[in-house]
Chain A
Amino acid sequence: MTMFEAILLTVITASTPLLLAAIGELVVERSGVLNLGVEGMMVMGAVMGFAGAQWTGNPYVGIVTAVLAGMAMALIFAFVTQTLVANQVASGLALTLLGLGLSGMLGEAFVGQPGIKLPALDIPGISDIPFIGPVFFGQDLLVYLSFALVIAVTWFLFVSRTGLKLRAIGDNHVSAHALGIPVVRYRYLAILFGGACSGLAGAYLSLAYTPQWVENMTAGRGWIALALVVFGSWRPWRVVVGAYLFGAVWISQLHLQALGSGIPSQFLSSLPYLATIVVLVLISSNRRLSLINTPAALGKPFVPER
């Protein structure tokens, strides 16, 4: 295995949870809802994913329980912000507090227990091809799923009629409502999808990245995922670029340190954040690349009048 290949494999691991959570949040924001509770849903996914795998001995069951946990958290958010039109920003932050507490409570019994690692899905023959094999075809289910989700979401948003309606809601919920689109129902579903994706991201942490449960193990990744949606200007493939850029700089700085660069480690550690800013500035200052996609109704409450 070459160095480049090895680094690439590590980058995939570091980027996948960010991508999974971000792609879900992208759909939520496209519907005009800002859910800042990604970290809370993710950490619940991590603990329940671990629990599911532990109880049944099957990591795939863990994925299912993680998705359900993420959706359950999302449902609370949906009910409070959609049915009761509470403020989205504050509700999202409250969801994060709730998730961090609840996961710690539920996970107490799992501390110090090694988890079950999600197996890599080797495709016989193809996985043995040098370079391409291990990098592209030696991954676990969730890595494939992350890309499948990107393709599916791209298709959904920009090709399907339902996706078109969802975007219409995100841009102007009043006219969408006037056109007879059930705004609140769409948003509920989008929020639940976001929860499911955050749950997957959490499952990736506790079943693949580091198969264990420890409190607060998301360590702020939910926040990065949120930033990446903005980075990608609400476009799925740009979110992929963002997640992998962040992951690549994140891993490279560790390699730089191990090589003994002599640069203060605090500076190196802040590189992923700086790199994301710089690249976004470059993108947004370039007329051809810059897209103002911000869903116009983002974060605004909506009540259908009857």
Chain B
Amino acid sequence: MKTKLLAAAALALGLATGAAQAEPLKIGFIYIGPTGDFGWSYQHDQGRKAIEKALGDKVETTYLESVPEGPDAERSIERLARAGNKLIFTTSFGYMDPTLKVAKKFPDVKFEHATGYKRADNVSTYSSRFYEGRYVIGQIAAKMSKTGTAGYIASVPIPEVVRGINAFMLGAQSINPDFKVKVIWVNSWFDPGKEADAAKALIDQGVDIIAQHTDSPAATQVAEERGIHSFGQASDMIKFGPKAQLTAIVDNWSDYYISRAKAVIDGTWKSEDTWGGFDKEMVHLAPFTNMPDDVKAMAEETVAKIKSGEMHPFTGPIMKQDGSEWLKDGEVADDGTLLGMNFYVKGIDDKLPQ
């Protein structure tokens, strides 16, 4: 009894002085890849570093890297929770169910799960509307391509990637209705060699622009070597293709991460779903390079229109691959359909696993 009282007193004391010299907020991160992948995990880690830079000694961050989805995920998340982290970012889709399970056990810890759709009182979800960027690069591709055919190196068939291919195609078709896209699935997020091989295969088949939804700069390097154009992914890859890269779709988690950390510190954090694009600076395009001014101007205009909400990449009329109508003239796709997108728009001649 006595000890309990003492503890309570200590707690009260702690609370009283808390305002003056608050304990730093402990923030944990789980990454699927190594921080040195220069892609997905690297960018999330940049976000972590941005929090530290912005909030200084008000926060303390830790991370676990290379945590595979599957049996290890739940334990890793739980360890971060038990280590006193009050805000935990789980940065891969496959951490969805483990995050929810751990969140149930630790109601006072706030969780942020990237790219998922299941939420709870202490679990928010967040993702980026990368497709906005992909629409823009589709337009650039159609303007810049001489052959009218682009190659697209895709990682694994999930809605996110399918949505990207569709947005790219719609952007391209808005400039050149006969534009073609050749798709190669490498069935991996990360194998630089295979990505380079895919880029070469595509170029050998006559594409003169490469877009990718895989993480390494290998394809950009190949494009540079073969003297064609490419788009970077996840990070700005201009160093790898100074003459090749037109722009890159850069993941920018920093602003979001800082705002969420601040929200926890201020006590204003609540569970929500954030799906931000150009408007929230979550999708960011690297400087437009290696293109004439008129193309650049067009790209900038499109970015501005999407940002202001004047334009949505998925606005009808849009046909599905099989020719059936998906969106009527002027109709805008709803987020639910976009989230679970598993069909191609008309003009893409790849086939999706069903």
Contacts and interface: CB of A to CB of B under 8 A. Distances in A.
B198 A215 contact: no
B37 to A, nearest CB: 6
A177 interface: no
Contacts, number: 118
A210 to B, nearest CB: 4
A149 to B, nearest CB: 20
B132 to A, nearest CB: 25
B217 interface: yes
A265 B197 CA distance: 15
Contact of B37 (A117, A205, A215): A215
Contacts of A17: 193
Name which of B37, B193, B216 has the most chain A CB atoms within 10 A of its CB. Answer: B193
Interface stretch (B48-56, B77-85, B94-102, B181-189): B181-189
Contacts of A211: 221
B184 A212 contact: no
A154 interface: no
A258 B38 contact: no
A232 to B, nearest CB: 21
B36 A107 contact: yes
A114 interface: yes
Given A254-B197, A258-B182, A260-B349, A212 B187 contact: no
Interface string B214-253: 0011100100010000000001000110000000000000
B42 interface: yes
A238 interface: no
Secondary structure call for the A interface? helix
A114 B221 contact: yes
A121 B351 CA distance: 41
Contacts of B183: 257-258, 260
Given A113-B239, A251-B201, A219 B190 contact: yes
A10 B190 CA distance: 19
Contacts of A209: 192-193, 196
B36 A111 contact: yes
Contacts of A117: 225
Nearest to A209: B193
A17 B196 CA distance: 14
B293 to A, nearest CB: 27
Given A14-B197, A112-B38, A260 B217 contact: no
A131 to B, nearest CB: 15
Contact of B193 (A14, A215, A260, A262): A14
Contacts of A221: 193
Contact of A250 (B151, B197, B351): B197
A45 interface: no
B192 A210 contact: yes
Nearest to A107: B36
Contacts of B351: 260, 262
Given A6-B204, A10-B201, A258-B151, A215 B36 contact: yes
B8 to A, nearest CB: 46
Nearest to A267: B353
A242 B36 CA distance: 32
A216 interface: yes
A215 to B, nearest CB: 4
A255 interface: yes
Contact of B194 (A6, A7, A215, A219): A219
Interface in B175-211: 182-188, 190-198, 200-202, 204-205
A194 interface: no
A212 B218 contact: yes
A283 B109 CA distance: 60
A214 B37 contact: yes
Contacts of A219: 188, 190-194
A247 to B, nearest CB: 9
A205 B193 contact: yes
B157 interface: yes
Name which of A7, A13, A113, A210 has the most chain B CB atoms within 10 A of its CB. Answer: A210
B34 interface: yes
B38 A255 contact: no
A114 B240 contact: yes
Contacts of B190: 214, 216, 219
A269 interface: yes
B240 A212 contact: yes
A205 B196 CA distance: 11
B36 A114 contact: no
B350 interface: yes
Given A215-B37, A260-B350, A265 B187 contact: yes
Nearest to A250: B197
A216 B216 CA distance: 12
B217 A258 contact: no
Name which of A17, A104, A205, A221 has the most chain B CB atoms within 10 A of its CB. Answer: A104
Contacts of B198: 254
Contact of B201 (A113, A215, A254, A262): A254
Interface string A92-119: 0000000000001001100111100100
Interface of A: 3, 6-7, 10, 13-14, 17, 104, 107-108, 111-114, 117, 205, 209-212, 214-217, 219, 221, 250-251, 254-255, 257-260, 262, 264-266, 269
Interface of B: 33-34, 36-38, 42, 151, 157, 182-188, 190-198, 200-202, 204-205, 216-218, 221, 225, 235, 239-240, 349-351, 353
5 contacts: A7-B201, A14-B197, A108-B36, A111-B42, A113-B239
